[in-house]
Amino acid sequence: MRRVIAVANQKGGVGKTTTVINLGAALATLGYRVALVDMDSQGALTASFGYDPYKVDPSTSTLLLDRTISLTQVLRHGRQRLMVAPANSELLSVEYKLLQESDRTMRLQQAVERSKNEFDFVIIDTPPNLGLLTVNALVAADHLLIPVKTEYLAMRGVRPLLESVWLIRDRINPDLKLLGVLPTMYFPNSPHSAKIVQELKRVFKGKLMHTVIPLDEVAAVAPATRQAVVDYKPNSAAAVAYRRLAEEVSDDV
């Protein structure tokens, strides 16, 4: 396996799930074998591929609760060269069920390791908080991608996330690296959006992704068709941007 990427930001509404779906689909289009892992109890990633988060089983809950299950055993078809590990509503209670377990932060890592040679990329969607599900994703990952909506308040969630990341790296997962910060929902010709990107560049320097994801209604409509935007409207601004992001991520492998 070439890379495990956790896509995380403790602030919601910044494009995490949209990024996971479309980065994954774009990488699959390039010929890579991709697995997407839904670690958010809301199940938006799962629903986007037509699976019901209230009924699907086995799921990522199974990965966390059963030490004998591998990632491959819960995967469902997403599209050509892309598989999905769906979430179900049981994820809401998984954190409490694992509280007394000594390896509670490493369950996802163990499941991914059991399937480590079957994919070029594993991309993990996380909930908008820094709880046990997100920690499991960060422990399983070797790289972190942080989507940041190009508005002032969205930037405020990055620092506490990074503080948690470095703590996890120091104590549990020394292989975890920052892949980059990804500007999302960019308003073309907006002075405010441009200013936020410049501020991100000043703070993160070489860790700011070159790709900027524009605000595009097509990205919001595509999940209703059970398609990634790169399949639904391949010439749209969002699709072009996500293909560019896939090239940027794969060039760095």
SS3 182: strand
Tell me the CA distances in angstroms from 19 to 16, 51, 126, 142, one per residue in order: 5, 19, 11, 18
CATH at residue 165? 3.40.50.300
Q: What is the average pLDDT score of the chain?
A: 93
Residue 208 lies in a domain: yes
Does residue 155 surpass a pLDDT of 80?
Answer: no
Token pair belonging to 32: 């890579």
Model confidence pLDDT, tens digit, residues 69-102: 999 999 999 999 999 999 998 998 998 999 889 9
Residue 115 lies in a domain: yes
Q: Which structural domain range is residue 113 located in? A: 3-247
Residue 209 lies in a domain: yes
- Counting the structural domains of the chain, the total is 1
Does residue 252 surpass a pLDDT of 80?
Answer: no
Give the model's pLDDT for residue 77. Answer: 95
Residue 7 lies in a domain: yes
Mean pLDDT lowest for which of 179-183, 185-189, 239-243? 185-189
Residue 64 lies in a domain: yes
Residue 252 lies in a domain: no
Does residue 157 surpass a pLDDT of 80?
Answer: no
Residue 253 lies in a domain: no
Could you tell me the maximum CA-CA distance found in the chain, to the nearest angstrom?
52
